[in-house]
Structure 1
């Protein structure tokens, strides 16, 4: 893979086994954090019991609640990660909300109910960070429904307004955290210069998309686009002009791609494309259309780009297909060089 002046490692140097290990670690991280929140709640319950503090519920109930929380910790760590599509996180959150509602039912004081309600904020921060917007809304609705039913079965609060204040505080916190997470995630996964996905973003989003296409039998074609003589262009015209050329080429591709497709800046002067529902002929036709609608600045006198394409095979890994696209790109460069000679 050519990366003139980019200092980007070749596709062939990437170790799939290590990538799989990292993916497994990331998949289990939410469960570990959630189990930590539950374990902390259990420790607090046990602490109130040992200290004989008149908390939200009786000492005996606190001890039982602590035991159930510790059981939930074990389930969250070793059982729920086995559920498909990350649904174990939703199940663990739901069980936590149910335990909180039970504590509200047992609480002998309004202060205890308020404390338990506000304690749900830790769950909300977790949910706002790890869940998608749709799953977050469902999670919040379930939490507020259970909390409201529990309070109605044991009405200790002086006014319904107290419950709605808790709802407002938790909702505001969820909106704030979710917005910050989306902004930080966007910055972390996108290239500042072109607005395309960066290498990390492509690694995160492409495998999920490819797997979904494989399950439904939808073809996927991947490509690598390399800007020709980019180092020479930078040396001749300056880095600002080189940055503009990168922006122009990326904008030309973005205009032509569909929402289902992915485009990423793969290296200093290379772009990776994942085209959903496309065969090799479709990809080459798309490339021809992009060349036809490119702005003048996207193809200066120093040359245009060279592309290599590969249609993904059944069960093929993303980087294996990109490796074949890389070979096709090199073949295209060799063929053009031979024709010029």
Structure 2
């Protein structure tokens, strides 16, 4: 006798089979993930470059900012965190000399900050990990002070970071042709006299070492997504051949025309020209003003025409950043548009 099943029975049996297959796949052991492959290593496996610093530390174990800054320059600004194949050494130095502890907050240690080892009571902290996929790493530091407060900060030695929110350091894949952010902290650069900088590099900067670039200095723009229209313009090849340096919002007592020009000419511009491959002549030095600093930027440019040939400020407080600054830059420094 031949059994005949109704279409509804066959459909129900098929649905049951699919459900059982999904349940089996979801419950089956999965392969190790990026997080599973990261392992903490003993401090003895720290980078030899860190060992060089520790060997030269004063016997008194007093803070030595100048030694740390010299060591950072010797290691190189694009070498942090310290890498040795898959071994990564994270280093934090507290220039305020007030930190009681420092934790590493990283995407490979989610919801579990990793306490850094303190070097014999000094303001230097470090930790060592084995990390197979460095391009996936995102991290910052959590610094604790004696009064119990905690502050999330970026790596003072690693200039590469993502805007966030919140901002996080990364280990860049230098083979990728993409715009890159550099965070420059004044505490690690005494010549900046307390002025922090956020620098947007064009996609080819870390690949085309024979090329020098014009520089646009942005004043009055708070940190945040200010660079997104510029990143899109770089990626769309609307602009090129240009470095953008954001000074942020300046204090009220340092935002006048004379103070701003002094800051640019004696501090910021000399530092940028020294550390980056720039075209430092007046034709390739641009000023961009925003917010409360717009009028001071216009006054600086108009008062010093032999120093700044090109500048842009919004026509009104209601002006749009992207629709104003991108056409201004693309007209002066167009990319290789198809």
- Give the TM interval when normalised to the shorter protein: under 0.3
Greater relative CO (CA pairs within 8 A, separation 6+): 1
Greater strand proportion: 2
Q: Which has the larger radius of gyration?
A: 1
Q: TM-score, normalised by structure 2?
A: 0.24
Q: TM-score, normalised by structure 1?
A: 0.24
